Structure 1
Amino acid sequence: MRRIKLHLEVEEYEPLHRLASELGVRPEVIIYTGLDEIMKRAREEAVRERIIEIRDMRRSSLPAWADHAHEVHAYESM
């Protein structure tokens, strides 16, 4: 089995950990689920563009779902 290391900022890890705890799963399950969803749609041009956009965004800022001064998170507002 191959391994991939994912380095997250604390502000990225905390909402991931909270969601995993809420669902009673490990954070890895959330990540694998996201990967599964992306890979199923990887041929779509919009998805490919979003992958590049996120790569570039991570160089300078946090994603919208990350902790930002303890605001309501995107997944929590649903």
Structure 2
Amino acid sequence: DRDPAKYPDARFYPEITASDMLEHLRGSDVRAGTYEFFDHTALHMIRRSGIRTMIVNGNDPENLLRAIDGEIGTTVIPE
């Protein structure tokens, strides 16, 4: 629900629906490219496209391999 590097009490979601993510962001001033976690525009695109999307920290390229292996990341489920 938040950046765990900044917030030790952040919760990890292995899977979450796009609607639930939108609910978490409700009331916040989040615009495309301005929010470090995710934004409304991206979530609406996920819902409209119907494509499951993986959120992974891309600062370390090894994370992409770990995500493919199912070790890390959050899957956003369109519904």
Q: Which has the larger radius of gyration?
A: 1
With normalisation by structure 2, the TM-score equals 0.28
Higher normalized helix content (fraction of residues):
1
Higher normalized strand content (fraction of residues):
2
